[in-house]
Amino acid sequence: MLKFQISDPATTLAYDRAGHSGPRVLLVQGTGCVGEGWRPQIDDLGRDHQVVWFDNRGIGESTPNSGPITAQELGRDCLRLLDHLGWQRAHLVGHSLGGILVQEAARAAPARVQSLSLLSTLRRGRDAAVPTRRSLRISLSLFFGSERSRRLRLAAMPFPPSYLATLSDDDKLRLVKMIFAREFLERAPIMRQQLAALLGHRGADLTPLRSIPTLIVTGKQDIVVKTRFSDELLAHLPQARLERFADAGHGVPIQHAAAVNKLLREHFARAS
């Protein structure tokens, strides 16, 4: 991955890119996830879009943060990356915590956001900081067993049972490796910092975002960010388009990659 140093001299962000022409797209991941988790979108959109993805502070190949983390500061990292790339404007796509970060980036600099895509996310981070009963059971199970068994159990966090039943154990392990940073399973300090950033995020006035073309995507079976939070986003962003997948969980960009990619392409084209 490529790297650049941000304003904090102890922090370096790792990013990568695909595509040489077309609309500019920045993909932003969520809690404990690496940028590589966008692989189904990278491979498709990279054919005719300029696509950039990165590891958030302290995750994957990005160096640890030297101070406290807030959603607002992580959102500014998105803008810093745009500056580094020389991109004045871009389509911002965020999943889970990443959806909050692109909202914060858009609030700070709405003129730089050509469109927003908010996937499996919500308006107030603190609403996701309190786990559902099922996600809590899965989280607690990750303290026990072999690494292989813990990774297999972790697959139930982003994907519903009906989808997991169609996958082999090897497929589940491949997806977990692609999505989650090693820091997630190792319960590294950065995970507590990211969760604290979620808990400290109380939402804000989204009126400045109402002029930005917005796509909201949710899975009805999501146990991490309940689908009703997408309805709340829509209430605050009446210009947005909401797409709900009845059989999908939190990992809807992977579970329904082709359909989500089609929605993104159409959304970018309309916003351009």
DSSP 8-state assignment for residue 219:
E
Confidence at 66, pLDDT banded by 50, 70, 90: low
Give me the pLDDT at residue 9, please.
65
Give me the pLDDT at residue 8, please.
65
Percent of the chain topping pLDDT 90: 81
Report residue 27: phi and psi, to 5°. Answer: -105, 130
DSSP 8-state assignment for residue 59:
S
* Listed residue (99, 100, 48, 104) closest to 80, CA to CA: 104
For residue 141, the SS3 value is: helix
Dump the DSSP string for 157-193: TTS-HHHHTTS-HHHHHHHHHHHB-HHHHHT-HHHHH
User: Is 258 within 8 Å of 230 (Cβ atoms)?
Assistant: no
Residue 130 clears pLDDT 70, i.e. is over it: yes
Give me the pLDDT at residue 6, please.
83
* Listed residue (151, 152, 218) closest to 185, CA to CA: 151
Paired strand residues for 242: 216
**CB-side neighbour CA atoms (13 Å) of 44:** 16
Confidence at 183, pLDDT banded by 50, 70, 90: confident
What average pLDDT does this structure show over 149-168? 97
Report how far residue 61's alpha carbon sits from residue 106's, in angstroms, rounded to the nearest whole number. Answer: 25
